[in-house]
Structure 1
Amino acid sequence: MRDSLLRTAIVILAAALFITELLSPLHLLSRWPLAIAWIITLALIAARIPRFSFHLSYLYIPSAVIAIPVAIAAVLSPPNSADAMAYHLPRVIYWAQSGTVAFFPTPYYNQVMLAPLAEYIMLHTYLLTGGDHLINLIAFASYLGSIAGVSAIAGAFGLPPRAQAVAAFICATLPNAILQASGAKNDFLLAFCLVCAVYFAARRDVIFLALSIALAIATKATAYLFLPPLLIYAASVLPRRKLLWIAAAILAVNGPQYIRNLRLTGSPLGYDSAQGDGHYRWRNEHAGLASLASNFIRHTSEQLGARSPQWNDRVYRAALAAHRALALDPNDPGTTWPGARFSPPVNANHEANANNRWQLLLFLIAAIYAIATRNRTWSLYAAALFTAFLIFCFYLKWQPFLARLELPLFVCAAPLGAYFLAQFHPAITLAACLFFASNARLPLFENWTRPLKGPHSLFVTTRDDAYFNDMSQWNNRASYLESVDRVARSGCNYVGIDITENQLEYPFQALLRERNPNVRFIHAPAAPPPCAVLCPDCIGNQQKLTLYRDYGPPIEIGRFLLFTNTPY
């Protein structure tokens, strides 16, 4: 059943991408063309893929129980992750209103140049349902698929059924996995594609391996950092002519986005910074062993945060001591995100920086055990995961919120942990699983952006208010709400948004679309001029006052300026 499920999921993901790219040039990305395309596609899938009966073994009931609160949070909450509101969801809005995924004018290039697969699926759900109510279920479905996938990997590597279920449970209880699985980011879809790639590599199924790799790249650029060990394995076990399938799949799946990026930036991968100016550059300024060592120490430190401030301070001091011993600067601007400073780790219930420290400990012990017992399969598997992490550290600058990007490696490591626990009496395995379940309580119920208990619980918070759960640092909820109300009452249907100050535009778009479904958005300044322009965080900005002077004196709303020529 798991094999058929994974194959079906990969085919559906590929279909979503190809439907999008086929309809986009014709500006047919709208509800009815998509509905017709999916009816035909699903009928073909049903006719070609062997039927499989659904049977949930009792061994997987614990994982299913863990997934229930995650599903509730995903359904009750709007998409409210800060990154999602900065570029994942705005790009969906602009695509939906234009009927195409062609690049659109924006000062924030993340909205156009980044890998688009997750947002393509968001676009389909948005257009087919008329809103964002199902968007969080994309990450949740990836969570379920990954749980099934890691158990399938464990089976492909020869572990017995009980150990396969343990692999699923380890994945299900990863704190960062629980937190991300109810949100709108794309890390879990990448994790699922990588899990499928590992599984089909173990099965030596080159067609689905190629598709999985291509779809991983189409989901998030960190796939380029995580895939090399898997590609090396594929090159060692597959005939050379079959490797051409992988290259062909990568080009077929990612070719349209490569071409769009090439036309805009001169590179198929786009700019190396969000604004294209090199200031907020993702990669290290100087590559070498020094940057690798510093980032390795800092990322490992971030994964060791606990609820004890004393423990966190000891971890921090140890990381600083390691930097001093190696004559490294822990805040080297060449390896550190601008404006960030290395600090003690935290035990956060936020998807951006929640750690998986106990599972990490299990994986490290499992890797050492595999090497010590000369188990070739699991030693190589552990080495592949470790190599992928080293590449990650070698290339990307350290940021205090990058734990989320490491999620795919933790998910793929779940079978390794299950292999180690399978060496012991079932009582030991049960104790470990109970410990992981206990450790999952806070992420399950006290997710900082999508809580199920407490004064801000999704059960007592309105959906509109929940959009702002990840925006407390800006403290501008009232400004968004008043701006939405004023523009809605003005009757303006062509609204400009000036986001050059790096503000989140999606809450304004989502709430205004609830009031006026016919409204269209454009990034200002634009021609023809829109009938209203919202400029977040523009109070005191003389340049903006001059730029939009034809609208007359703006309305001040907190730190927002609203320019409008429509009376109300």
Structure 2
Amino acid sequence: MILLALLPVLTLAFTAIALRPRAESDRGLAVIRAALAVAVGAVLVVELFSLLRWISPVPFVAAWLAATLTTAWLAWRSLPEKAREIAATIREKRINRTRETQRTATKALQVVVGLLVLSELVLALASSPNNFDSNSYHLAKIEHWVANGDLANFATAQTQQIILVPGAEFLLLHLRMLTGGDGQYNLLQFFAGLLGALAVARCAGQIGAGRTGQWLTAAVFLTAPAVALESTSTQNDLVVTAWIACAATLALDARRTPASWPNTLALAGAAGLTMVTKTTGAMALLPILVYWAVCRLKERRQLLYGTCAVLAASALLSGPSLLRVQEAFGSPFGPPGYREALSTTRHDPPAILVNGLRLGASTLLTPLAGVNEAIGGSVVRIADAVGVDPNDPSITQWRSIFPGDRWKPDEDRSPYPIQSALVLLGTVLGLCWKRTRGYALLVLGALLTTAAIVKWQYWGNRLILPAFAVATPLAGYMLERALHVERRALRWALSALVAVVLLAGAAHAYIAVYYGQPRRLVGHASVFTLDDWQERFARMPDQAASYRTAIDQVRASGAKRVGLVMDGDLWEYPLQVELHDKELVELQSAVPGQPAGDVTTVDAVVCVSAQDVCRRTVPETWQYNRIDQFVTTAFPPA
């Protein structure tokens, strides 16, 4: 079954060959188009199979076999023409190499980044899914779909399983159906990180960076600790970041090339995938679409057709999910209280300024307390000067208090100070240089839109990765210019400074991969020293034994129908994994129109909740086994 996971990879490769632009040798664009086409198809297949109640392995395997064979045939048909293009490209590269020898520094950079990516791949393959949110709702919703055979709303106490758009989970569902488990789940974000790096490097080339500048851009993106940590995770921030980066490079094509349907449809696909994957991506997507529209003003018909394509793709890909949320909560965005907890409710310029400064300051946190205090204190003083409370609830998520001090490498909140500083400096300089001013305005729009909508919170560093990604080409362009100043002494000094900065940034990324949380390659609690169950509970190590005891008690009882009582953000997914052969019944529901199951119809109950919640659900006559303060099992009288 694991070999079936190669079908999407083969389909992507064949699609890239078939969709390679005929008039140009742009392999990067071919990969981007292929990734978007395959992902769009995967999302539509899930929605179609849900309508037919076909969410089971056989239809998915058949669909991927058909896709692989079809794209292989299309690639084969295009090979003769593509071979001529490849030969021409090789000749052109040989000519270019005679004109300019690749710098040794660039080769060293490739080695440093390549080893980092290889380490991430090892960690992604060796680690079981253990992200906190994934165990609570990202992966739990997939198991509900598998059990139900469709995507319809279901009873659950954890409403995030219903409210949040499920684009990344749709892609993981394909892996679940092809392999029968979650062993390859981490690879989705790993490859999303590589796709994002490819796209931002292409953006750098489009704004004027050479080969060195493109590699520098990819390095700034890939060595950001938040990116390195998420590339081995089952979160969805890198997935949406990849779609945003693809949208940015496709929009930049509009500056110099005539409108083409392949690029227009690809941009529409990127927009639709962004909207179905994570709403935080919309803040970076909007300025990208505005930039594209401005570049197409002279081609009004193409602008109209392209706008319609973007709207249609967004509606087609995200519409069904939003309609299901609308059906449950009366709004496609979920209950009002949930939206207000995450999005700002104050949008005046001083509030946006303070919120943006706080978001930026959080990415700049370092192990040096003095530096952090200086940065945080400066933001607080500016907030006082403009009359904004730095912890105003209208721009601050509950429980979060600015300034934070969480600098350690953790996938949910890790800062990326060196990369963030480079991006901010690159954006400022980009506004000053005529060649990059238009793109810098796009980046500034993404940063401001993010500051206007996303509340500051401890977990905000990963939420602003889309805006960070579109800004990295400016950092790469700036670094390359520093390496090519005319004065020799200054060039050597700047080259040494760039090398030190990039090595420091890379070292931070290596520390994140080798010693970060909740997965690490070496040291205490390495993925090579823990068993699968311990890996899964890296975020809640004290709960691993309690969950195991509850599962063993249920199996020993011979129960076939097991009721679940879940509370707050506690984890449902481990129970679904270990009790996959049981019929699981939700005994609580916060989803309107989806009533909870009847406790009298189940053979056992597992409570992962406060004791009072469990006591209210379980009949008094049942045997009640309290395992710890949260985990309890209950069984009916013999």
TM-score by length of 1: 0.92
Q: Counterparts of 2:581 and 2:200 in 1: how far apart (Å)? A: 44
Q: In the alignment, which residue of structure 1 is the partner of 2:603?
A: 531
Is 1:554 aligned with 2:614?
Answer: no
Query: For 1:546 and 1:96, how far apart are their aligned partners in 2?
Result: 29
> How many Å separate the matches in 2 of 1:26 and 1:509?
24
Matched, 1:422 2:480: yes
Change (3 A) 1:344 1:500: closer
Q: How many residues align?
A: 553
Q: Are 2:532 and 1:463 equivalent residues in the alignment?
A: yes
Instruction: Give the aligned residue type for 2:617.
Output: L
What is the letter of the counterpart of residue 399 of structure 1? Q
- Residues 607 and 633 of structure 2 are in contact (CA less than 8 Å); yes or no, is this contact kept in structure 1? yes
Q: Is the Cα contact below 8 Å between 2:565 and 2:609 reproduced in 1?
A: no
* Residue in 2 that maps onto 1:232: 290
**Equivalent residue in structure 2 for 1:111, among 126, 142, 161:** 161
Instruction: Determine the structure 1 residue equivalent to 2:183.
Output: 133
Query: Using a 3 Å threshold, how does the CA distance of structure 1 residues 537 and 266 change in structure 2: closer, same or farther?
Result: closer
Shift of 1:285: 3.3
Q: Which residue of 2 aligns with 1:492?
A: 559
Cα distance change on mapping 1:285 and 1:147 into 2, 3 Å: closer
Find 1:518's aligned residue among 563, 568, 581: 581
Range 486-495 or range 167-176, more displaced: 486-495
1:258 is the counterpart of 2:328? no
Q: Give matches, 1:317-328, under 5 Å.
A: 317-328=377-388
Task: Report deviation, 1:419.
Answer: 0.6
The amino acid across from 2:624 in the alignment is: P
Aligned with residue 391 of structure 1, among 449, 456, 460: 449
After TM superposition, list the pairs within 5 Å mapping 1:54-453 onto structure 2: 59=107, 60-204=110-254, 205-238=263-296, 239=300, 240-242=303-305, 243-274=307-338, 281-375=341-435, 378-425=436-483, 428=495, 429-453=498-522
Separation in structure 1 between the aligned mates of residue 345 and residue 63 of structure 2, nearest angstrom: 45
Gaps of 5+ in 1: none
In 1, distance between residues paired with 2:428 and 2:460?
26
Contact 1:174 1:359 in 2 (8 A): yes
Pick closer, same or farther for the CA change 1:412–1:460 going to 2, 3 Å. same
User: For the structure 1 residues 45 and 113, does the alpha-carbon distance in structure 2 shift closer, same or farther, using more than 3 Å as the test?
Assistant: farther
Rounded Cα–Cα distance in structure 2 between residues aligned with 1:434 and 1:249: 41
One-letter amino acid of the counterpart of residue 109, structure 1: T
- Which residue does 1:14 correspond to in 2? 40
Matches within 5 A, 1:472-511: 475-510=542-577
Shift in alpha-carbon separation, 1:489–1:154, aligned structure 2, 3 A:
same
Q: Paired residue for 1:37?
A: 63
Deviations 1:476-522 (A, max 9, x none): 23221211221122222322222234312112322x24xxx412323
Most deviating of 259-268 and 174-183: 259-268
Contact 2:128 2:183 in 1 (8 A): yes
Say if 2:430 and 2:474, in contact at 8 Å, map to a contact too: no
Judged with a 3 Å threshold, the aligned counterparts in structure 2 of structure 1 residues 342 and 216 are, in CA distance, closer, same or farther, namely same
Say which SS state the counterpart of residue 516 (structure 2) adopts.
Answer: coil
* Residue 290 of structure 1: how far off its partner (Å): 3.9
C-alpha offsets along residues 346-387 of structure 1, whole Å, 9 cap, x if unaligned? 322101111111112112222222233333xx2222222222
Q: 1:502 to 1:174 in 2, by over 3 A?
A: closer
Would the aligned equivalents of 2:284 and 2:450 in 1 still touch at CA under 8 Å? yes
1:563 aligns with 2:634: yes
Q: Give the CA RMSD over aligned residues.
A: 2.3
2:483 & 2:400 partners in 1: Cα distance? Answer: 46
- Partner residue in 1 for 2:31: 5
Once the two structures are superposed, residues 138-175 of structure 1 have per-residue CA deviations (whole angstroms, 9 ceiling, x without a partner) of 00010111122222222233322222122122211111
Could you tell me how far 1:431 is from its partner in structure 2?
Answer: 4.4
Q: Which amino acid letter does the alignment assign opposite residue 31 of structure 1? A: P
Give the Cα separation in 2 of the matches to 1:417 and 1:551: 66
The residue number in structure 1 matching 2:19 is: none
DSSP-derived class of the 1:214 partner: helix
Q: How far apart are the structure 1 equivalents of 2:527 and 2:396?
A: 35
Distance 1:566 1:215 in 2: 51
**8 Å contact kept, 1:497–1:522:** yes
**Contact in 2 for aligned 1:495/1:519 (Cα 8 Å):** yes
Q: CA deviation at 1:124?
A: 1.4
Change (3 A) 1:272 1:118: farther
Q: Which moved more, 1:310-319 or 1:244-253?
A: 310-319
Structure 1 residue runs of 4+, over 6 Å off?
52-58
**Pair 447,233 (structure 1): closer, same or farther in 2 beyond 3 Å:** same
Distance 2:116 2:422 in 1: 20
> For residues 566 and 31 of structure 1, what CA distance do their matches in structure 2 show?
38
Task: Quote the Cα distance in structure 2 between the aligned partners of 1:307 and 1:71.
Answer: 27
What letter corresponds to residue 556 of structure 1 in structure 2? Answer: R
- Larger proportion of helix: 2
Unaligned runs of 5+ in 2: 1-26, 94-101, 255-262, 485-491, 589-595
Q: What is the aligned-residue identity percentage?
A: 25
Q: 1:502 to 1:146 in 2, by over 3 A?
A: closer
Letter in 2 for 1:535: C
Greater alpha carbon shift after TM alignment, 295-304 vs 518-527? 518-527
> Secondary structure of the residue that 2:562 maps to in structure 1?
strand
CA distance in structure 2 between the partners assigned to 1:373 and 1:19 by the alignment: 45
Please tell me the residue identity of whatever aligns with 2:632: L
- Alignment deviations for residues 114-143 of structure 1 (CA, whole Å, 9 cap, x no partner): 111100111111121111101011000101
SS in 1 for 2:581: coil
SS at match of 2:341: coil
2:17 aligns to what? Answer: none
Report if aligned partners of 1:115, 1:220 keep a CA contact under 8 Å in 2.
yes
* Structure 2 contact 221–419 (Cα < 8 Å) conserved: no
Change (3 A) 1:285 1:159: closer
Letter in 2 for 1:530: V
Q: CA deviation at 1:261?
A: 1.9
Structure-2 change in CA distance of 1:213 and 1:485 (3 Å): same
Q: Distance in 2 between matches of 1:561 and 1:538?
A: 9
Separation of aligned partners in 2, 1:420 and 1:489: 64
The alpha-carbon deviation at position 430 of structure 1 amounts to 4.2
Say whether the 8 Å CA contact 1:284–1:291 is kept in structure 2.
no
Larger radius of gyration: 2
User: What is the alpha-carbon distance in structure 2 between the residues aligned to residue 266 and residue 335 of structure 1?
Assistant: 25
Contact 2:54 2:149 in 1 (8 A): yes
Q: Distance in 1 between matches of 2:318 and 2:43?
A: 9
Which amino acid in the other structure matches residue 528 of structure 2?
F
- Contact 2:125 2:187 survives alignment (8 Å): yes
When structure 1 is superposed on structure 2, of 401-410 and 381-390 the one drifting more is 381-390
Structure 1 CA distance for aligned equivalents of residues 143 and 621 of structure 2:
25
